[in-house]
Amino acid sequence: MSSYYMANEIRETMPEMMIALPPEKWNDYRDLKPDNLVEVLRFIAKHIKVEKYKKAVRGPKKPPVLKGEYKKGEHVSTYKLIKNRRP
């Protein structure tokens, strides 16, 4: 699942949920014991349409572009030039 799309959905839906349900209803969830809260969250999760939150699949990698030859001949490293110069 894409955590970005899930977080975005929660961010957009939360204000409407606060309007739709009075504060007393949220207190019921706050007072739940951890085991009971897990049951409620699993029940809710069973009704989620996972396809809506799928991650994007990366396409195949492109092969690397082969570099052409140097215009003025072969490249010679600066190290080799310094090493072979005459004193």
Work out the mean pLDDT of the chain and round it to a whole number.
83
Provide the pLDDT for residue 39. Answer: 92
Domain that holds residue 5: 1-57
C-alpha distance from residue 27 to each of 3, 21, 43 (Å): 27, 11, 19
Look at residue 38 and tell me if it is in a domain: yes
pLDDT at 71 over 70: no
Determine the distance from the C-alpha atom of residue 43 to the mean position of all C-alpha atoms in its chain, rounded to a whole number: 26
pLDDT at 42 over 80: yes
Give the number of domains in the chain.
1
Question: Which one, of 75, 13, 72, 22, lies nearest residue 44 by Cα?
Answer: 13
Provide the pLDDT for residue 69. Answer: 67
Between 53 and 46, the more confident residue is 46
Look at residue 15 and tell me if it is in a domain: yes
Query: How many residues are recorded in the chain?
Result: 87
Q: In which element (H, E) is residue 29 found?
A: helix 23-30
Look at residue 13 and tell me if it is in a domain: yes
Letter for the amino acid at 41?
L
